[in-house]
């Protein structure tokens, strides 16, 4: 039996992060978590590229362009969509999620989903570095694991 899995070693990986400014009180914490996770897994800070976009809805286009560039082993998308009083929560969530998934599948590069989708600001805070962890940290660890796993995949199709 052959089993393949990705380790969590970021040494020599180049990773692009795309982070949205909307709800930046939260997304800044996600970015801190993602960068810290990369460094703690042995990554070189100089090999991180961080791009900023206005809102979560804009994440997929930039993620796709970065994945297409062939310069990165993975792309990490960070954002926070909070239901609050907004009427277009559902549109922003569904388009962001499907766009991020398509970017990865179309380009064959791991694109991780570090986008919080919560009903309240309090729930977002809980997932941005307090009692429910930090989704940015988790998204970076997923990106590292997937990038490593892809390196082990057979190249012939």
Chain residues that interact with ligand INI, rule: CB under 6 A? 20, 22-23, 54-58, 79-82, 86, 88-89, 92
What's the min distance (Å) between Cβ of 77 and ligand INI?
A: 11
Give dist(CA 138, CA 18) in Å, integer.
15
Listed in sequence order, the residues at least 6 apart from 116 whose beta carbon sits closer than 8 Å to its beta carbon are 26, 30, 79, 80, 81, 82, 123, 124, 127, 128, 135
Told to judge if 88 belongs to the known catalytic residues of this protein, a careful annotator would answer yes
Nearest CB to ligand INI, comparing residues 82 and 144:
82
Helices 24-40 and 135-152 pack at an angle, to 10 degrees, of 40
Give dist(CA 118, CA 103) in Å, integer.
23
Q: Catalytic residue among 41, 52, 88, 138, which?
A: 88
Listed in sequence order, the residues at least 6 apart from 30 whose beta carbon sits closer than 8 Å to its beta carbon are 19, 78, 79, 80, 114, 116, 128, 134, 135, 136, 139
Give dist(CA 134, CA 34) in Å, integer.
8
Nearest CB to ligand INI, comparing residues 58 and 73:
58
Q: Which residue is nearest to ligand INI (CB)?
A: 55
What sign has the CA pseudo-torsion 8, 11, 12, 13? positive
What's the min distance (Å) between Cβ of 134 and ligand INI?
A: 17
What's the min distance (Å) between Cβ of 107 and ligand INI?
A: 22
What's the min distance (Å) between Cβ of 152 and ligand INI?
A: 34
Give the residue numbers marked as catalytic.
88
């Amino acid at each position: 039996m052959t089993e393949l899995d990705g380790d969590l070693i970021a040494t020599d990986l180049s990773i692009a992060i795309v982070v949205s400014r909307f709800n930046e009180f939260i997304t800044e914490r996600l970015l801190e978590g993602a960068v810290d996770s990369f460094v703690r897994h042995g990554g070189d800070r100089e090999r991180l590229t961080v791009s900023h976009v206005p809102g979560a809805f804009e994440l997929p286009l930039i993620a796709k362009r970065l994945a297409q560039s062939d310069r990165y082993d993975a792309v990490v998308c960070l954002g926070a969509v909070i239901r609050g009083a907004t009427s277009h929560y559902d549109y922003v969530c569904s388009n962001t999620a499907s766009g991020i998934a398509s970017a990865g599948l179309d380009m064959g590069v791991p694109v991780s989903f570090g986008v919080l989708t919560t009903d309240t600001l309090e729930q977002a805070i809980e997932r941005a570095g307090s009692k429910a962890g930090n989704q940015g940290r988790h998204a970076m660890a997923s990106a590292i694991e997937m990038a490593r796993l892809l390196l082990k995949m057979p190249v012939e199709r």
